[in-house]
């Protein structure tokens, strides 16, 4: 543990952190814990850490758990719902190119995350990075926007679940309730979404270990469905169906590109759950990069295979192009149903991953005094941020009440929120490279300033695409109402925070201080 005098100095100079305990050194499973001035002792895997009388998270996640949580969160259900729309707008090759370009942008941002998570491997991820680099208010803005992005995904899945099951059970929509933006909302359809939200919230409430096991099973099934779709493309696909390869209008490719941040968000679930990962810090960064590459390959694969299975006129008529594409490739309705069930697995993996990530981020904000302490409670039995999970899960219960139209609103508004977070993390990466060049970085990005600069510029370019006047700008008023309402809610807490946590020129500590920890894995 850090020297008591040092801790007193930090909390005295930083009132925001005075009530936040300094976390003990993160440890690897069944590894000795290095504590300066004390003999090394052993902590069994899964033991919860106690800091200053407060319960903390148990480090129970291994390498496979981390990879499937991130990959599953990045896949989700967007590939089922939106693939036909993407190909129609941009062409098969155009949509694939948009995903590759978006994958490069997200990959560069992911590299900055990989370095930062290895240096600050604590729950809260981006919250810790921006707090240390830029101070309190920028950290709040970043974290609050990212919570919106995560909640958007969780709510999206609550709407996507009944929509996907409608493909398998066409009679599911029954009992009309009301209309939203011209779309009817049905009682049974809404009930499925609310039930799914309840189940997923419960799974996360009772512990991260059950959530990780669930994630592994769902991802394995999802990969099996993807392999079946690829095989069907080789056996029954037709290159002629892919024409036109690229749409004539540039706005088509841009419209796909702006959806990429929302669809790809998920790799940053790793930083959010870093406090529960029992791996060497350097390996955490590598797994983050691997998950990003795997998700990029997945989306390109889906576009190419579905494009080879359905001609343009069939794509235009299809409400669920991926399922119809699988049906056409195998000439079997059963195979189309199998793919939709794979999509349901994607819904559950994304839902699970983002409920985990959003709750840890809300917990980190509460632990830093940015949100009420109620959000920071750790369950005494399950070692989970129980109140934060209930908050995020509760918001997802509301989304199905708005019907299918909510899908588009959440993708666009959530995508913009995520890009803002990318901008802030890229900026923090560059600031810390300049201000703290000797900070321990178990995973260190080569040509860091170049990578960080590119990530910053490309993220800024993506952000511009959402602005009014752009072909792919956010819709008025629905999507701007979501952003504006969330901003007003955050403003309630933002203006009560100090402008900075430490005097200018002094390193900004976080509520999850880590610099006293030594990592022997470098």
Q: What global pTM score does this model have?
A: 0.69
Q: Are 98 and 256 in contact (CB under 8 A)?
A: yes
**Among 255, 167, 127, 158, which residue's Cα sits nearest to residue 512?**
127
- Say what the alpha-carbon torsion angle 155, 160, 161, 166 is, to the nearest 10 degrees: 150
φ, ψ for residue 48 (rounded to 5)? -75, 140
**Among 403, 505, 494, which residue's Cα sits nearest to residue 193?**
403
Share of the chain above pLDDT 70, in %: 78
**Among 383, 380, 363, which residue's Cα sits nearest to residue 372?**
363
pLDDT digit string, tens, across residues 135-188: 888 889 888 888 888 888 788 778 778 877 887 788 888 888 888 777 788 888
Above 50 in pLDDT, residue 509? Answer: no
479-517 per-residue burial string, b: 16 or more CB within 10 A, e: under 16: bbebbeebeeebeeeeeebeebbbeeeeebbbbbbbbbb
User: What H or E segment, with its residue span, contains residue 497?
Assistant: none
The span from the CA of 160 to the CA of 360, in Å, is 24
The span from the CA of 481 to the CA of 181, in Å, is 14
Supply the mean pLDDT for the chain.
75
Q: Are 363 and 385 in contact (CB under 8 A)?
A: yes
Region 434-443: what's the mean pLDDT?
89
User: H-type helices in 19-75, by residue range?
Assistant: 63-75
Beta-ladder partners of 50: 55
Radius of gyration of the chain (CA): 23
> How many Å from the N-terminal Cα to the C-terminal Cα in the chain?
21
For domain 61-495, give the CATH number: 1.20.1740.10
**Among 450, 452, 432, which residue's Cα sits nearest to residue 510?**
432
Above 50 in pLDDT, residue 521? Answer: no
Q: Are 287 and 66 in contact (CB under 8 A)?
A: yes
Of 51 and 450, the one with more pLDDT: 450
Would you state the pLDDT for residue 30?
33
**Among 414, 487, 426, which residue's Cα sits nearest to residue 459?**
426
Q: Where are the domains of the chain?
A: 61-495
Q: Are 106 and 294 in contact (CB under 8 A)?
A: no
**Among 245, 212, 199, which residue's Cα sits nearest to residue 94?**
245
Region 97-105: what's the mean pLDDT?
86
pLDDT band at 276 (very low <50, low <70, confident <90, very high): low
Would you state the pLDDT for residue 318?
79
User: What H or E segment, with its residue span, contains residue 180?
Assistant: strand 176-180
Would you state the pLDDT for residue 516?
30
Above 50 in pLDDT, residue 205? Answer: yes
Q: Are 269 and 70 in contact (CB under 8 A)?
A: yes
Would you state the pLDDT for residue 471?
64
Q: What is the largest CA-CA distance in the chain?
A: 72
Above 50 in pLDDT, residue 506? Answer: no
Above 90 in pLDDT, residue 429? Answer: yes
The SS3 call for residue 268 is: coil
Above 80 in pLDDT, residue 21? Answer: no
CA angle, 199 as apex, 320 and 356 as ends, to 5°? 90
**Among 344, 366, 347, 343, which residue's Cα sits nearest to residue 355?**
347
Beta-ladder partners of 48: 58
Q: Can you state the angle between helices 250-257 and 83-90, rounded to 10 degrees? A: 150
| Non-local CB neighbours of 90 within 8 Å, separated by 6+ positions | 97, 98, 246, 247, 252, 253, 255, 256
Would you state the pLDDT for residue 320?
77
Range in 5-19, 158-172, 335-349, 451-465 with the lowest mean pLDDT: 5-19
| Non-local CB neighbours of 400 within 8 Å, separated by 6+ positions | 158, 159, 162, 189, 190, 192, 193, 194, 197, 406
Q: Are 364 and 511 in contact (CB under 8 A)?
A: yes
pLDDT band at 432 (very low <50, low <70, confident <90, very high): very high
Above 50 in pLDDT, residue 2? Answer: no
The span from the CA of 62 to the CA of 497, in Å, is 36
| Non-local CB neighbours of 259 within 8 Å, separated by 6+ positions | 78, 82, 86, 411, 412, 415
User: What H or E segment, with its residue span, contains residue 103?
Assistant: helix 92-119
Of 370 and 73, the one with more pLDDT: 370
pLDDT band at 210 (very low <50, low <70, confident <90, very high): confident
Top-ranked range on mean pLDDT: pick from 35-39, 150-154, 470-474: 150-154
pLDDT band at 407 (very low <50, low <70, confident <90, very high): low
Would you state the pLDDT for residue 428?
93
| Cβ count near 520 (within 10 Å) | 10
């Amino acid at each position: 543990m850090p020297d008591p005098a040092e801790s007193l100095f930090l909390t005295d100079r930083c009132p925001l952190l005075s009530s936040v305990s300094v976390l003990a050194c993160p440890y690897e499973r069944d590894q000795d814990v290095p504590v300066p001035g004390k003999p090394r002792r052993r902590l069994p895997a899964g033991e919860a850490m106690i800091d200053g009388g407060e319960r903390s998270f148990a480090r129970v996640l291994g390498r496979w758990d981390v990879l499937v949580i991130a990959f599953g969160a990045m896949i989700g259900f967007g590939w089922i719902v939106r693939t036909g729309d993407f190909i129609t707008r941009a062409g098969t090759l155009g949509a694939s190119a948009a995903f590759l370009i978006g994958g490069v942008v997200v990959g560069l941002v992911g590299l900055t995350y990989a370095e930062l998570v290895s240096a600050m491997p604590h729950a809260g991820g981006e919250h810790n990075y921006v707090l240390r680099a830029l101070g309190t208010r920028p950290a709040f803005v970043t974290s609050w926007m990212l919570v919106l992005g995560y909640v958007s995904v969780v709510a999206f899945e609550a709407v996507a679940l009944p929509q996907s099951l409608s493909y398998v059970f066409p009679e599911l929509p029954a009992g009309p309730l009301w209309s939203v933006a011209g779309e009817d909302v049905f009682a049974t359809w809404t009930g499925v979404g609310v039930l799914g939200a309840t189940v997923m919230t419960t799974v996360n409430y009772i512990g991260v270990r059950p959530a990780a096991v669930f994630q592994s099973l769902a991802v394995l099934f999802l990969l099996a469905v993807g392999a079946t779709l690829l095989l069907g493309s080789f056996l029954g696909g037709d290159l002629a169906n892919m024409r036109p390869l690229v749409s004539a209008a540039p706005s088509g490719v841009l419209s796909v590109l702006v959806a990429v941040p929302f669809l790809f968000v998920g790799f940053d679930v790793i930083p959010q759950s870093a406090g529960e990962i029992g791996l060497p810090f350097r390996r955490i960064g590598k797994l983050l990069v691997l998950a990003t590459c795997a998700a990029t390959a997945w989306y390109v694969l889906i576009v190419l295979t579905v494009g080879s299975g359905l001609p343009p006129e069939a794509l235009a008529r299809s409400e669920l192009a991926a399922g119809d594409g699988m049906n056409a490739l195998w000439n079997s309705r059963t195979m189309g149903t199998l793919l939709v069930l794979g999509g349901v697995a994607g819904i559950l993996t994304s839902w699970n991953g983002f409920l985990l990530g959003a709750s840890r981020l809300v917990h980190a904000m509460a632990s830093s005094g940015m949100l009420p302490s109620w959000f920071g409670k750790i369950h005494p039995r399950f070692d989970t941020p129980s109140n934060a999970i209930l908050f995020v899960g509760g918001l997802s219960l509301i989304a199905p009440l708005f019907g299918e139209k909510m899908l588009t609103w959440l993708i666009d508004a959530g995508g913009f929120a995520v890009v803002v977070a990318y901008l802030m993390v890229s900026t923090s990466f560059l600031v810390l490279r300049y201000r703290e060049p000797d900070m321990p970085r178990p995973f260190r990005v080569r040509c860091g300033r170049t990578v960080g600069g590119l990530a910053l510029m490309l993220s800024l370019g993506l952000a511009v695409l959402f602005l009014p006047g752009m072909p792919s700008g956010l819709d008025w008023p629905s999507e701007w109402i979501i952003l504006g309402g969330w901003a007003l809610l955050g403003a309630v807490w933002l203006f009560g925070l100090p402008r900075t946590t430490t005097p200018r020129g002094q390193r900004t500590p976080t509520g999850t201080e880590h610099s006293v920890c030594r990592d022997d894995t470098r």
